[in-house]
Every structure is written in C-alpha cells, then in structure tokens.
Structure 1
C-alpha cells in the first residue's frame, strides 16, 4: 500500500502535536508519582546516585533496629544490677542483725542451795551417785561427750565438764550446778552409765538458748536468689551478667563498633560471696568477714553499673547520629529525584493549551488542501 503523502505544513503541525502529547504524558507521570526521575532513562546520574543513597539509608535503618535491641540488652543488665544491689543490701542487713543478736547458751541448772562445799566427793555429795557413773553431754546434735565421775569432787567434776569443747559448767551464786551449751543450740544431758545426770537434777533436753542458725540459712537462701536473678537477666540470648559479651556495630560495613564485656555476677564469680557453713556465724570474726564481703560486692555492682551506663550513653548517641544520617541520606535522594509539583502543574496547563492550539493549527493547514474540492 502506498504511503500517504502529507503536505509540509500538515506534517509540521502533526509532529508538534505528537511532541506535545509526549511531554504531556511525561508531566502527568511526574505529577502522579511525585518524581521527576522515575528511571535511569530520565537522568542516569541522578537516578543511580539516589538509588545509592536510598540503599545506604535502608541498611542504616536495619542497623538502627539492631542498635535498639542492643540498648534493650544493656538496660536489662542495668536493671539486673539494680535488683542484685537490693539483694546484697538485704543480705548485709541480715548479717548485721545476726551481729546484733548475741548467742545465749542453752542451759540446765540443778537444785539451788545444795552445793555447800565443792571439795566434797561427788559420791558423797549425793549417795545415789556411784564412782562408775558416766555423765554425757550433747550440744546441737553433735557428738556425745562424756565424763566419768570416778573419785572426783564436785568441783573437779565441774572442771572436767568445762574441759569438754563447747560446754561450760559452774557452781552458781545460788549454790547450784549449771551446765551450758555455749552455741545456744539444744543441750542434751544424760547418763550412759548409772543415773548421775538425774541425781544431779541436770538430765533432759534444753532449748532455752539463742543461736544464729536461722540467719545462716536465710543468708544462704539470698545467695541462691542472687544467682537466679543474675541468670534471668537475659535478653534475646545475651546475658551480660553471666559472662556474655555484646558487640554492637555502628555502621553498615561493621568497621565501627563497640564490644561490651560481660561480667559473672554470681556469688561464686565476681561477687565473691562464699556460702556460710553450719555454725560459721558462731564466730563473730566470720560474721564480720561476711559483712566485709558484702560491702565489696556492693562496690563491684556500683562500679559495673557505672560502666554499663557509660556504654549505654555511647550507644544512644550513635543511635541518634544514625537516625540523623538516615534523614540526610533520604533527603539527598529526594533532592535528586523529587518533582516540583507547582512547576509540573504549570507545565501541564501550558501543554494542554499548546495541544489545543496545535489542533487548531493543523485544521488551518488542512484547509488549503480542502479548497481543491470546490473544483468538483
């Protein structure tokens, strides 16, 4: 089929209308997307620069999420230290109460106004007592100690009882025999041979003393709670109070970072709070050593809290910086690609007017060819 031949005037107007339609399409696209650079065809340099900036901004956005999780980990450790400090203070208060609680011996006292002469033989003091009789003493469920009466006088019998570890005996001002279990625990006085304990009026089990056993067991329970709390200060598998380290990256290439060193805040770790063995607090030196250990643990906790606080400040500063950097990158990308809606609106109006004028011009150009019809 032969090509249609158009006159120069018509072809010129047609091309102008086609160009105007193309520009109109471009302007409408910019208005609908808000971008003046929608693809590499529009402006290769601006398009790829904007893509690079947006890509880095996206990487940093993901990094900010990671920074927030790291902040939560540090805050968990800091809150754990605060709670550990309270437990240590409770343990110290308990130890101080134990210090203020004197040990009162459990005791058994025989009849009064009966011991008039300590030099009298025990067998003569009470004729029911035989020289083969054996007096036994037990304190706090410990080993049973014994004293054989033999040829001892009343005073010698008292001295022999005093020779037993943890037991005291005396002739009181009321002229009675008195035996005490020094630790304040249950005192059991009996006879393994004969009935000397009954004959002296001392036999039986006596719990009228005061000891520090309950303080010791409560303290050891607090030690257990300290270990359990330190173990629970865990955030997403990282526990800074049980020796885990935390490495935090500050940029997308992982060349800027900080490593927060974990600590072992257990009683057998950095806190150094040994278990209190049974009857250890009978000795006030041991009790004061416990108070000293608690003071040292408290100082250790405060020092580490300060360290974690400094680390937290650094991470929060870097998080704020990263947020600002993301805004800058996204703003830079927008500067390269965003369209000016006011300008594009004016362009749209101008192009629509041009399109209408082009149609009118094309109509005028075609009139000269239409005049030939008048010949027929």
Structure 2
C-alpha cells in the first residue's frame, strides 16, 4: 500500500500535539514527584550533586542511631556512679557510727613516767636492763631474744611483723606502738586476749612501765554489727557496678565505648571504662570486726578515696557526654543542611509547574483545533463530487 501523504498543515498540527503531549507528561511527573529534576537527563549537574548530598545525609542519619546509643551508655554509667556514691556515703555513715562506740579492744599500755623513745636501748636501766638471751613473749610467741644494741623500735617492729601474731596476707591483729607519753602500747585489734611475758618478768614489767601485762577478750557488738552492715553495703556496690550495663556495654566494669562521628570514620571518640566494684574503688572488707579505731579509720580512708574516684570519674564521663551530645546536635544540623541543599537543586515550584501544565493543556486544545481546521481544508475537495 502506498504511503499516505499528509498536508503540511496536518503534519505541523500533529507535531505540535505530539510535542505538547510530551511536555504535558514531563510536567505531570514534576507535579507528581515534586521535583523539577527527576533524572540525569533533566539536569546532570544538579541531579548528581543532589544525589551526593542526599547520600551523605542518609549516611549521617544512620550514624545518629549509634551516637544516640552512645549517649545512653554514658548516661547509664553516670546514673550508676550517682547510685554508687550514695552506697559509699552509707558505708561512711556505718563507719562513723562505729567510731561513736568507744573501742574496747584488749590493750597492754605502759605506765612508766620516764618516757621511752624508739632508740632507747633495752639494756639501759630505764628500759629494764635486759641481758643477752633475755626474751620477750606476746601471746606465747617469742618476739625478741635480746642481743646487744636491741632497742624499743626492735620490740615494736618485731611485734608488728611477726607472722604468727599477724599472719601474712591478712589484717593486722596485734599492733605495737609508742604513744605520745613515751609508753609502749600493744593492742589486740581483733578483740582477742592479750598476754605479754618474758624470761625475766621484772625486766618485761619495767619495759612496759609496770602495767598489767594481760587483757581479757572483749568484743564490742555495736562495732561488730556496724562492720557487718558495711560488708553488706560493699556487696551491694559490687552488684550495682555489675548491673550498670546498657546494650551490653558496662563502663563501670571495664568496658569501653567508641562513638563514630562521620561516615568515613575519621572522627570518633573512645571512652575508656573503669572497674568500679568494691575492689576497683579500693574499698576493702571490714577487718577484725572493727574492734579497733585503727581499722575503722583505715576503712574511712578507703571510703574517702572511693568518693574522690567516683567524683573524678563522674566529671570525666560528663565531659565525654558533652562531646558526644555536641556532635549529635551538629550531625542533626548538618543533615538538615545537606537535605535542604539537595532539595534546592531538584525540587520544583509547584505553583509554577502547575501553571505550566495549564498552559500546555491550553496549547493541546489549540493544536487539536488547528488539526481540525487543517483537515477541513482537505474535506472541501469532496464538494467537487
């Protein structure tokens, strides 16, 4: 079949209709998506620039979740430190309450009126005029066999370091010292009976000022109960520290946290955890049922150290939290900027695009009318027949 020849007017009208239809479809797509650039064909530069900005915004958005979880890990540790501080303060209260009860530990204290010094030689008359071979015994254990030159310091040191009286690795049970009056004092820190004797009783009596050289067992139940309460609080400290984890990370049980701040991992912060159980805080268990002031004061010293550690670590975590929250806010703002910049490159002006579509619809109608007029000129030929 031979090709059908159309007049110039009809072809021009059809071309106008086709062009207008294509333009209508593009405008309809812009209105439907809200974007004036929907593919690289529309505007390659804007399209790829916008895609890059959007991709980075999405990458940063995924990081925000991990940053937010990092904030929660630090907050959990901070709350745990506050709770631990309250427990340590309760332990301090128990120790101070125990101190209010007068110590009743067995003691042998010299009554000599001529003060001794650590350098006083035992062979001197004021110290008992010990002879070579004379012995001094505490609770049945010989702590010194006199040799020329031995002095008061030797007696004190030998008592404090004797592994029978004070077993290695355990708390000090028998303590000797020289008080402000220059008198030797021996104290049974655990409340057990105390006896001081020697091969020459008169010499031992002179050395210890003629005081009574025996002291019966004596347990202060108030202090014992306070020590038990202290140990119970110490157990609670261990349990609380172990329960301070968030999402499997416990900054108070030796864990650590790394928070990544950008999509290429070139900016991050690593938060090192601590071991804040009773041992990590240097809070030792009560010794000798707190029968002596020494043991209670030692415990109070440990508790003061623990409070200082907790406060310092709280400050460190607070600084870390500030950094992470600042980066979290910055990332949120940066995402908004990236998304806004991306939208500026591709979003359509809905009013303008709608007006263009209305114009195209009008042109479509005009083109259809023009096609109708063009065909009418050909139809006039039929009148000749």
Scaled by the length of structure 1, the TM-score of the pair is 0.72
Take 2:104 and 2:353, find their aligned partners in 1: how far apart are those partners? 97
Please name the residue that 1:287 is paired with: 296
Residues 191 and 291, structure 2, Cα contact 8 Å, conserved in 1: no
Deviations 1:136-188 (A, max 9, x none): xxxx997899xxxxxxxxxxxxxxxx544x41xxxxxxxxxxxxx4x236xxx
- Alignment match, 2:330: 321
Who is 1:237 aligned against? 248
Task: Go from structure 1 to structure 2 and tell me whether the alpha carbon gap of 1:105 and 1:65 turns closer, same or farther (over 3 Å shift).
Answer: closer
CA distance in 1, matches of 2:101, 2:46: 82
Map 1:247-262; keep pairs closer than 5 Å: 247-262=258-273
Whole-Å separation in 2 of the counterparts to 1:89 and 1:283: 21
Residue matched to 2:282:
272
State the Cα distance separating 1:359 from its structure 2 match: 1.1
- Give the Cα–Cα distance (whole angstroms) in 2 for the partners of residues 340 and 104 of structure 1: 91
CA contact (8 A) 2:16 2:367 kept: yes
Q: Is the 1:103–1:184 Cα contact (8 Å) retained in structure 2? A: no
Query: Conserved in 2, the CA contact under 8 Å of 1:103 and 1:211?
Result: no
Q: Quick one: distance in 1 between partners of 2:193 and 2:98?
A: 26
1:121-160 pair list within 5 angstroms:
none
Equivalent residue runs for 1:210-225 within 5 Å: 210-225=221-236
Counterparts in 2 of 1:22-101, with a 5 A limit? 22-101=22-101
* Matching residue of 1:335: 344
Inter-partner Cα distance in structure 1 for 2:194 and 2:70? 61
Residues 249-296 of structure 1 deviation map (CA, whole Å, 9 limit, x = unaligned) = 110111001111111111112x111111333x2221221121111111
- Once the two structures are TM-superposed, the CA of residue 367 in structure 1 deviates from its matched residue by 2.2
Answer yes or no: is 1:298 the counterpart of 2:307: yes
Give the unaligned 5+ runs of structure 2: 107-189, 196-211
* Alpha-carbon distance in structure 2 between the residues aligned to 1:256 and 1:25: 46
Once the two structures are TM-superposed, the CA of residue 76 in structure 1 deviates from its matched residue by 0.2
**Secondary structure, counterpart of 1:93 in structure 2:** helix
Aligned residue in 2 for 1:134: none
Residue 345 of structure 1 corresponds to 354
Separation in 2, partners of 1:141, 1:272: 25
SS of structure 2 residue aligned to 1:258: strand
1:176 matched to which residue of 2?
A: none
Inter-partner Cα distance in structure 2 for 1:252 and 1:285:
58
Q: Is the 8 A contact 2:253 2:275 kept in 1?
A: yes
For 2:3 and 2:352, how far apart are their aligned partners in 1? 41
Aligned residues: CA RMSD: 2.2
SS in 2 for 1:212: helix
Q: CA deviation at 1:35?
A: 1.2
Aligned residues: 287
Q: Separation in 2 of the partners of 1:95 and 1:231?
A: 24
Deviation of the 1:103 alpha carbon: 3.9
Report the alpha carbon displacement of residue 325 of structure 1 after superposing the two structures with TM.
Answer: 0.6
Question: What displacement does 1:104 show?
Answer: 5.3
Gaps of 5+ in 1: 107-139, 146-161, 168-180, 186-209
* Distance in 2, Cα, partners of 1:300 & 1:105: 32
Deviation at 1:333, TM superposition (A): 1.2
TM-score (ref. length: structure 2):
0.71
CA distance in 2, matches of 1:92, 1:365: 105
Aligned to 1:178: none
